Amino acid sequence: MSLDDLQRRFARAMHDPEEASRLFGEHARGASAYANNALFNRADALAEAYPIVRQLVGDEFFGGMARAHAKLTPSHSGDLNRYGAAFADFIAQFPPAQELPYLADCARLDWLCHLAYYAEDENNFSFEALAAVPPEQQAGLCLQLARAVGLLRSRWPVASLWRAHQPLEHDAANAFPSPDQGGELALAWRDGRNRVQVRRLLPAEFAFLDACRLGLPLAEALERALDEDLEFDFGVSLQRWVNDQVIVDFNLDAPR
């Protein structure tokens, strides 16, 4: 075995108890224990990052799926809060989850919420600074979304499913939304009280915010929104998104 091969196998053994047993043989007890602990720590991190997926499938199914992913995917950071970015793609290919085709997109929304919770704080939007921009320059403004903002286009009702699984949202007299009731456009963000929120967007709203995410100027963002709905009210929408800390700044240059 070459040194390069040995180093690769040793790295895998630190994350995979079975590989530790194969590599170290009768001396594998300590390495296997370490690898097993690391495996379960990654699976536990997934359980924290994907609460809606866990509720949808139950603890036992989720635990098996999380351990299967953790076995294949080591952590590349000392901060386990950063672990799990590829879990939705894994779910989409995980054979036991194929009967739940909406699950991968629910995971994508869970991950956006997880990122929103840990995103950096932002400064408050200044309407005074906006009013000071000369009218001839306003069309070139680039409105900046907060780092805590995530957007998701799904063929499933992911925003409704997410909200239905919040403790204060579900009315016992009403059934949970059916996964096949149609697609939704979802916005995830962290509000001024440090609470992660999810809202279903109208097509014009999604088009506008997505254009802002891409760093497009205001004129083009408005054009995209109006292509979806000629009655899109920019003033009302901007006020709401600023109050919710979805839009936090602007500039006249390329996005940050």
Give the pLDDT confidence of 197-246 residue by residue, as tens digits: 999 999 999 999 999 999 999 999 999 999 999 999 999 999 999 999 99
Q: What is the pLDDT of residue 173?
A: 43
Q: What is the pLDDT of residue 256?
A: 45
Q: Is the pTM of this model over 0.85?
A: no
* Rounded distance between C-alpha atoms, residue 52 and residue 41, angstroms: 19
Question: Domain segments of the chain: what residues?
Answer: 1-100, 110-256
Residue 247 near residue 143, CB atoms below 8 Å: yes
Of 195, 202, 113, which is closest to residue 153 (Cα–Cα)? Answer: 202
Q: What is the pLDDT of residue 123?
A: 86
| Sole residue written with tokens 């940050």 | 256
Residue 246 near residue 209, CB atoms below 8 Å: yes
Residue 110 near residue 51, CB atoms below 8 Å: yes
Q: Is the pLDDT assigned to residue 178 strictly greater than 90?
A: no
With pLDDT > 90 as the criterion, what percentage of the chain qualifies? 64
Q: Is the pLDDT assigned to residue 116 strictly greater than 70?
A: yes
pLDDT tens readout for residues 23-82? 555 544 554 545 567 777 889 999 999 999 999 999 999 999 999 999 888 877 778 889
Q: What is the pLDDT of residue 46?
A: 96
* Rounded distance between C-alpha atoms, residue 102 and residue 91, angstroms: 10
